[in-house]
Structure formats: structure tokens, C-alpha cells
Amino acid sequence: MDSDAAQAMIRFGLGPRADRLAPADPRGWLASQLRAAGPAPTPGTAAALEALRADRRDKPKPMQSRTHALFLRDALAHLTQGLTTEQGFRERLVWFWANHFSVSIRQGPVAGLIGPFIAEAIRPHVTGRFADMLLAVMRHPAMLLYLNNAFSFGPDSPAGRRTGRGLNENLARESLELHTVGLASGFTQADVTSYAKILTGWSINLKADPPGFMFRRFAHEPGWHSLLGHRFPPGEAGGVAALRFLGTHPATYRHLATQLAAQFVADDPPSAAVSQLFDTLHRTGGDLGAAAAALPHLPGAWRAETKLRTPQDLLIGAGRALGLRQAERPMLWALHLLGQPLWAAPQPNGWGDKAADWAAPEAMLRRVDFAYAMAGRFPRPAPTVGHAALGPRLRPATGTALARAGSRRDALALLLSSPEFQRR
């Protein structure tokens, strides 16, 4: 493995697998992953909503509910996919976009829906158009429940007038601030309120067979509404038009370019990297495949170890280095202890990906605890793992420390907690 292959697999992918050869043509290996879309996902949203409906009828204890069982199944499948995928770059893009449109079990009855959300709203679009991903996200029951839009009523809609219920602007605000144009666009409170009105009626029908998205005409606020200087007509089509507008807005491209560069180049990426990504998104009308293809060509993209691995990155990177093929329940607990429980971000902005977000002293000690626990559970010869996982990144000082360690377990723990392993 040369340093370019290491960079391709560790920075852009999820880390080398112990049982796979390094790519001979690292740049070609990255590009090929963007052309080969995976198999179409198995639809799971309706089944998850049926499980939610049944839970509401039977009222099981939370840990015995159908939705909790779905959460566990999907969470372990998600980690297993990370451990085993041959397309680590593509999978990292899935992680990135799932975190950009974060849905968390900390709010709303979404536990059974996050797996289907990623499968149906995120995964098919990671090399497609951003506006298509945005539309799929905003129609998905997971997002409509997580940020409360399913129960937002137009105050002047028939249902609003009859019941006295009204707007909930949570999804509208976070969609502007976090998902699309961002704060730098200078959107106002009036934009948030208008957008919330445009989105009224975007809801779910839990009683239908199959249950799923439903545009509730009688909850929809009548009239035209102005968003960022553009006017949108009433009706579901007005919402679709507003999402197309936001999804192709230059401020959205600027926002996405900044976040992508921070994920793939450095915590504080060169401004040239951001502007190149912006130009690509702008020129292609928000083609995320073109943006992904541009990532390896950005200034700074091949400078090694500028990024700290997040806990999820560390877990999957270690699991791949150790040759694991199947995620296990204790891995979910490990992510919890490391401060990044899966699909449970505390707030709608998802998880941070900068070193300062993860560098608390206690968190770093826990990474050593984690390394020691993994080394005990999955004993492997540390030098072999080190060469396969890090190639030329393995420093002589670390190699010496592995050789001098008092036990094989200590050696492997030192490798997994070394700075070169904790960076990407």
C-alpha cells in the first residue's frame, strides 16, 4: 500500500479491510464507486409505519416494541454495511448525507424509520441531484415526524379553522438553516413562517394501507407565500416548487460545498476547495455525483491525517482492520460510551466532524478503553493489523511500541489508540 492508496481508503473510504488488497489505482478506485450505484434498496417505510401503528395499539414496553426491534435490526445492518462494504467512499457519502439530514431517536416516534429513511431518501441520491434528495427527505415520514411537520396546520386551512390548531415551524426553520441555504443566506423570520405555511399538509397517514406520506389538503394553508423573494402557489405543487427552488439555490450550494470540504479535506479547508465545490455544484445544477467526483481533486485532499476520526469512524475503521464481518450489539453500546450513539444526535444539526468536537480528555481516555476492549475481544497480531490498516502511515515510534508491549493485547490496543489510527 502506498500513501495514495492509504489516503483513498482512509480519508475517502472507511479504512482498509484486513482481508482485501489495496487498490492499484487509488483515484480510479474512487471514481469507479461513483459510477456503480448499488442495488435498489428494499422498501421498509410502510412496514415501519405499520409497526408503529401496532405498537400504538398494543402499547408494549419500549424495549419490547416492534419499532425498537426494527431500530436494532437496521442499526446493526448499517454498521455491518460499514464493516463489509467494498465501496467505502460511496458509504462515507451515505454517512455524510444521512448526518446532513440528521434524524434522531431523541425526538418523535422515528426509531423504526431511520433505517428506511437512509435506504430510500438518502442512499439512492448520493450521486444524484441534491434537489431530488431534498424532496425525498422532506416527504419521508421520518423527517416529517422528527421535526414535527406532520402535525403542523395552516391556521386558515379548513382543519385549522375548525380545530384551532396552527403552525409548527420547526421543520421549516431547520430545513432553511441546516439542510439548504444556511444562515449565511440571511433568511428572515418571515421566510421561516412562509415556508412553514407552504409545508402545511405535508404529513403522514398512519391509517392507510400501506401507511405513508400524505398531503393533507384540509390542513394546508391557502394562498400564495413568499420565500426568499420568490412567490409560491398553494397546494402540494407549491411545496415541491419551493423545494426545487431551495435545492438549487446558490446559497445552498455554498453551504453544501463548505460542509463537504470540511468532511473530506480538513476541519478548516482552504477556501479554494470550497469554491471549486461550489462551482461544480452550481455548474451542474446540484449534481452530487459530480461534487463527489470533484472531492479527490480539491487542494489539500491528499494531505494525510488532517481529520480526526469520529467515534463511528473509529469503530468501523477498527472493525475493518480486525477483519470483522458482522456488527454486534456491544458495538452500539461502544458508540454510546464514545459519545456518538448511532442515530441519536442530540440536536437536528447532527454530529460535528471537527477535531474539537471529539477532543475532550475523557473522550480520549475512552478511546484507549475502547481500543483495549477491542483488542481483548478480537485478538490479532498487532504488527500485521498495523501494516494492513495504515500502510506507510504507521510511524516507527508506534512500531517500536508495539514490539515492546508487554502483551499482544496491549500491543493491539496501542495500535488502535495511536494517533495515526485515530486520524484519517
Partner 1 sequence: MLTRRATLLGLGVSAAAPGSALALAAGGGERRLVVVIQRGAMDGMSAVVPYGDPGLRALRARLIPPPPGQPEGMGDLGGFFGLHPAMPRMLAMYRAGQLLPVHAVAGPWRVRSHFEAQDDLESGAPDRLDSGWLNRVAAELPAGGVAGQAMAVGVDMPLLLRGPARVGSWAPAGFGPVAPDLYARAAGLAAGDPVIGPALTEGLREQGFTDGALGAGGRRRGRAAHGFVALAGAAGRLLAAPGGPRLAAISVDGWDTHVGQVPRLHVMLGELDRGLAALRATLGPAWRQTVVLTMTEFGRTARENGTGGTDHGTAGVAFLAGGAVAGGRVLATWPGLRPGQLFQNRDLAPTQDLRALAKGVLAGHLGLPEAALGRVFPGSAGVKGVGGVVRA
- Grid cell of 321 as nine digits: 482492520
CA 189 to chain CA mean position, Å: 28
387 binds partner 1 (CB under 8 A): no
Binding test (CB under 8 A) with partner 1, winner from 37, 69, 72, 165 = 165
Binding test (CB under 8 A) with partner 1, winner from 19, 39, 61, 362 = 362
368 binds partner 1 (CB under 8 A): yes
372 binds partner 1 (CB under 8 A): yes
Cβ-contact 113, 48 below 8 angstroms: yes
19 binds partner 1 (CB under 8 A): no
Q: SS3 of 265, please?
A: coil
- Grid cell of 46 as nine digits: 410502510
Q: SS3 of 423, please?
A: strand
Cβ within 8 Å of residue 88, ≥6 positions away: 9, 12, 13, 14, 15, 33
346 binds partner 1 (CB under 8 A): yes
CA atoms within 13 A on the CB side of 409: 10
Binding test (CB under 8 A) with partner 1, winner from 50, 132, 156, 177 = 177
Binding piece for partner 1, criterion CB under 8 A, among 59-67, 129-137, 288-296, 410-418: 410-418
Using the minimum distance from each CB to partner 1, give the nearer residue, 26 or 160.
Answer: 160
Q: Minimal distance in Å, beta carbon 292 to partner 1?
A: 26
CA distance 99 to 343: 9
Binding test (CB under 8 A) with partner 1, winner from 244, 366, 387, 408 = 366
| β-bridge partners, 215 | 202
Using the minimum distance from each CB to partner 1, give the nearer residue, 77 or 360.
Answer: 360
Stretch (H or E) spanning 232:
strand 230-232
369 binds partner 1 (CB under 8 A): yes
Binding piece for partner 1, criterion CB under 8 A, among 6-14, 80-88, 246-254, 352-360: 352-360
365 binds partner 1 (CB under 8 A): yes
Residues 278-337 that bind partner 1 (CB under 8 A): 308, 334, 337
Cβ-contact 388, 18 below 8 angstroms: yes
Q: SS3 of 226, please?
A: strand
What Cα–Cα distance (Å) separates residue 369 from each residue in 277, 307, 336, 337, 365?
38, 21, 13, 10, 6
- Grid cell of 292 as nine digits: 463527489
First to last CA, the chain: 15
Binding piece for partner 1, criterion CB under 8 A, among 75-83, 168-176, 234-242, 288-296: 168-176
Using the minimum distance from each CB to partner 1, give the nearer residue, 251 or 288.
Answer: 251
347 binds partner 1 (CB under 8 A): yes
Using the minimum distance from each CB to partner 1, give the nearer residue, 236 or 305.
Answer: 305
360 binds partner 1 (CB under 8 A): yes
- Grid cell of 354 as nine digits: 471537527
Binding test (CB under 8 A) with partner 1, winner from 94, 192, 214, 382 = 192
169 binds partner 1 (CB under 8 A): yes
* CA-based nearest residue to 25, from 389, 305, 296, 301: 296
Binding test (CB under 8 A) with partner 1, winner from 38, 339, 383, 392 = 339
Q: SS3 of 205, please?
A: strand
Binding piece for partner 1, criterion CB under 8 A, among 10-18, 93-101, 173-181, 236-244: 173-181
355 binds partner 1 (CB under 8 A): yes
Binding test (CB under 8 A) with partner 1, winner from 21, 40, 54, 183 = 183
Residues 107-126 that bind partner 1 (CB under 8 A): 107
For the chain, what is the radius of gyration of the CA atoms?
A: 23
CA distance 211 to 49: 6
Q: Minimal distance in Å, beta carbon 203 to partner 1?
A: 12
| β-bridge partners, 231 | 226
CA distance 173 to 258: 20
* CA-based nearest residue to 319, from 19, 24, 118: 19
Residues 139-158 that bind partner 1 (CB under 8 A): 147-148, 151-153, 155
Cβ-contact 176, 191 below 8 angstroms: yes
Chain residues that interact with partner 1, rule: CB under 8 A = 106-107, 147-148, 151-153, 155, 160, 165-170, 173, 177-178, 183, 189, 192, 308, 334, 337, 339, 346-349, 355-357, 359-366, 368-373, 397-398, 401, 405-407, 409-410, 413-414, 417-419, 422-423
